[in-house]
Structure 1
Amino acid sequence: MTGAVAEITGLEPVSVHGLSTSVWEVELADGDLVVAKLTDGAAAEAAGLAWLAESGTVPVPGVRGHDDRWLVIEQIEPGNASPAAAERFGRQLAALHASGADAFGEAPPGAPPSGWIGLAAMDYASEPSWPRWYAEHRIAPYLSRATALTGAEKAVIEQVCERIEELSGPEEPPARLHGDLWSGNVHWAADGRVWLIDPAAHGGHRETDLAMLHLFGCSHLDQVLLGYRAESPLADGWQRRIPLHQLFPLLVHVELFGRSYAHQAVTAARQALEL
């Protein structure tokens, strides 16, 4: 690991602290702290961070460099969550979404041909219409690989794809998404701001990012939404569509972790069909 970091940054590591089995905090010879991450998605994540940063909205760590398997970014000192930071984050997230994308599924500039969401592959196929794109590129591929689901469970989710046009709500333009916005990727920093980490950035529906914030809980979520809606009101019925937008990340979890997320995925599909 230290050799890869030295090659990417041009500086020798002087100390290393493991944060997980694939992430390390590294002090470089010039005194800077960086985070080194071992991931097949290094190039896609680097491109995503640059695309989010280009919007000038929510802060993201700067990329120090990457190769095919290693990503090195600046270390952001952690801090405490606060209502004020949450409301500010909500406004910034709305501005990020409004910075837009050219199509649903659009890849960040400079990204490789395919991306990643966590440890799962994610394609960058693009479409001008969200409903069919979501069904064909964010539900169907993961459903086909969800071997933990029974035939009857898959049939429930297939109904969502069949009825996607009526379930999708008002038409929206493509938004610039973080793409994997669960609470673990919302970094409350010592500078009093929220920074976004570990993106699976692409063009998508802004309600998908918000639905992912709801999925595993986010500190001060009410304040986040307050700030968001003050900056950019949401379409009628957005809360009823949360399960529809959660179906994508839940199917990713079924692919990666199996039966433990099967019930939650099927429940989300059934709730989406009740719209």
Structure 2
Amino acid sequence: MVSTEQAREAVSRITGHGIERVRQLGGGDASAAFAVHLDDGSAVFAKTAEESSIAAEAASLAWLAEAGAVPVPAVHGHDGRWLVTDHIAADGPGPRAAEDLGRGLAALHAAGAPAHGAPPPGGPADAWIGLAPMRNEPCADWPSFYVTHRVEPYVRMARDAGTLCARDAEVVSRACDRIGGLGGADEAPSRLHGDLWSGNVHWAGQAWLIDPAAHGGHRETDLAMLHLFGCPGLDRVVAAYQEVSPLAPGWRDRIGAHQLFPLLVHAVLFGGGYAAQAVAAAQRV
């Protein structure tokens, strides 16, 4: 259990500021989180997690910010266990926020990556998505990367845990055999947020992206994640995205293929209901 006093000490050490007050926030599954008010009147957000997770998130935020496409919290500093960023107070989406997010995501993806599977500059190859380990390994093409590093590892983990039976694992394996034949599979690598479910879109008048697991990959994977768990104004997000950067024909039919990754991660972390959804998505592929 991480205390507010530990947060106070860590933020003071990293920022060099005195601390006025600390408030613990409802954190995610992978970390403890705090809103910390500094002696200069500003507020920062602090979280603690595994060392490799902190390093990966700091590198991810810097890489997404470099694109200048969608707002992300600025990184104030980090050490082995703590990350300190801007604190963005939520106040709901503004009237044009969904369209701005769609256009911003298109620009973010177009900023590109060195390869499918490439980690952010300075980021570790062994990263995390929530509490699940995630390997960022550059590959020559998207199908090889996606199958080898985004689907098969979680199939093995789910089978080992008894969440996925041998027959269902074979269904996913057959879907993997078809990934290379999907439309748009030969697209150049995009700069992905990498964990773009609705909880990582933070509305504060405009959309801010938080908690990234950034890497080079296929742009439809980010959009499929938004479709999996919903997003305010999603139809407007997609329409604005398409105005800037049209998706390859048939992209809606490929949503299930791109959702295999997050569904299998959730099956590993949370159990069988997500495994059944992953198998259903594989059957559609």
Under TM normalisation by the shorter chain, which class is it?
Answer: over 0.9
Q: Which residue of 1 aligns with 2:255?
A: 242
Q: Which runs of 5+ in 2 are unaligned?
A: 1-6
Q: How far does residue 113 in structure 1 lie from its aligned partner after superposition?
A: 3.2
How far off its partner does 1:176 sit?
A: 0.2
Q: CA deviation at 1:168?
A: 5.2
Give yes or no for contact 1:170–1:235 (8 Å, CA) kept in 2.
Answer: no
Q: CA RMSD in A?
A: 1.2
Contact 2:125/2:137, CA 8 A, preserved across alignment: no
Give the distance between the partners of 1:178 and 1:203, measured in 2 at CA: 9
Please identify, of 141-150 and 234-243, the stretch whose mean Cα deviation from structure 2 is larger: 141-150
Which TM-score applies when normalising by structure 1?
Answer: 0.95
Matched AA of 1:39:
A
For 1:168 and 1:249, how far apart are their aligned partners in 2? 20
Listed as ranges, the matches of 1:44-193 within 5 Å are 44-146=56-158, 147=161, 148-167=163-182, 169-189=184-204, 192-193=205-206
Q: Distance in 2 between matches of 1:12 and 1:144?
A: 48
Deviations 1:149-203 (A, max 9, x none): 11111111111122221235452000000000000011111xx211100000000
Residue in structure 1 matching 2:266, options 220, 243, 253: 253
Structure-2 separation of matches of 1:232 and 1:171: 16
- 2:44 maps to 1:31: no
Percent of residue pairs identical = 56
**Aligned residue in 2 for 1:201:** 214
**Hey, what does 1:225 align to over in structure 2?**
238
Q: Distance in 2 between matches of 1:215 and 1:178?
A: 15
1:14 aligned onto 2:20: yes
Q: CA deviation at 1:112?
A: 2.1
Code of the aligned partner of 1:42: I
CA spacing shift, 1:47–1:230, aligned 2, 3 Å:
same
- The 2-side partners of 1:255 and 1:123 are apart by 15
Kept after mapping to 2: 8 A contact 1:124/1:202: yes
- Paired amino acid for 1:77: A
In the alignment, residue 188 of structure 2 is paired with which amino acid?
P
Do the aligned partners of residues 18 and 260 (structure 1) sit closer, same or farther apart at CA in structure 2, a change above 3 Å counting? farther
Cα separation, 2, equivalents of 1:83 and 1:255: 37
Q: Deviations over 1:96-128 (max 9, x none)?
A: 000000100111111123211111111111112
| Post-superposition offset of 1:83 | 4.7
Taking structure 2 as the reference length, the TM-score comes to: 0.92
Using the TM superposition, name which of 15-24 and 118-127 deviates more.
15-24
Is the contact between residue 24 and residue 35 of structure 1 (CA under 8 Å) also seen in structure 2? yes
Aligned to 2:84, what secondary structure does the other structure show?
strand
Q: Contact 1:186–1:197 at 8 Å: present in 2 too?
A: yes
- Residues 51 and 9 (structure 1 numbering): CA distance in 2 closer, same or farther, change over 3 Å? same
User: What secondary structure does 1:193 align onto?
Assistant: strand
Distance in 1, matches of 2:78 and 2:178, equals 42
- Measured in 1, the distance between the counterparts of 2:185 and 2:54 equals 35
Q: In the aligned structure 1, how far is the partner of 2:95 from the partner of 2:157?
A: 40
Query: What is the CA-CA distance between 1:56 and the residue it aligns to?
Result: 0.9
Q: CA deviation at 1:264?
A: 1.1
Alpha-carbon spacing, 1:69–1:98, altered in 2? closer, same or farther (3 Å): same
